[in-house]
Amino acid sequence: MKRKIIITDDGSTSLELLDVNEHYHSTFGAIQEAQFVYLKNGLEHFLNKHKSNAISILEMGFGTGLNAFLSFLFADKDQIKTDYVGIEAFPLNADEVLQLNYVQQLKAEAFASVFADFHLIKPNKQIQITPHFKLTLNTNPLEKFEALTQFNIIYFDAFGPDIQPELWTEAVFIKMFQSLKPDGVLVTYSAKGIVRRTMQSVGFKVERIPGPPGKREMLRATKP
């Protein structure tokens, strides 16, 4: 997979897959999209409803580590104990990580070493990043991933159904459903009808909600 660093419209970096003309984030703004889809409509939505000081998050598509870093900053500010698991079959290399500008764009220079650690940890082993944040980077194939009723939130941030259709199947969403605790939430940038119907078919209650800039809608699914 040939990749190159790009600058999105809000000034933050992302990566482009050159062979298929696909991007890791919205070209309208990587940070802007991540904050809206995953933080505002995922993490903050759940915490506003449940008022918890501890949370577990699964990210399907760890990628650049942006969603994880934003979640870390949120958890650190409010001292929320967070257990974060990212699934990523193709981790970034050191040169790519050095070109990402999230620390600067978020004015989070005090946590530059934390962001670097996200990409240096040993795969498939839980690491205590700070007293409030644990991280596991799972590089095993998805079919080997097992986590029954472990998570409060899933950030479903895989490449789109046209690029990776095997990650948007009923079998995958059954696994996501089983991985969530009751009343857990899955959020994704996708609003495709087939994705919504597939999630509904495995038991999710799915709602279309307004999307980030450049996208009319997104999906949020709740496990009853």
Residue 11 to residues 6, 8, 17: CA-CA distances in angstroms? Answer: 10, 5, 19
Mean pLDDT of 213-224: 96
Q: How many CA atoms lie within 13 A of 206 on its CB side?
A: 23
Per-residue pLDDT tens over the stretch 89-106: 889 999 999 999 999 999
| Domain range annotation of the chain | 31-222
Predicted model pTM: 0.96
The pLDDT value recorded for residue 12 is: 98
pLDDT for 113 beyond 90: yes
- Give the mean pLDDT of 119-128: 93
* CATH class of residue range 31-222: alpha beta
* Distances 81 to 56, 78, 133 between C-alpha atoms, Å: 8, 9, 6
Q: Which tens digits make up the pLDDT trace of 165-212?
A: 999 999 999 999 999 999 999 999 999 999 999 999 999 999 999 999
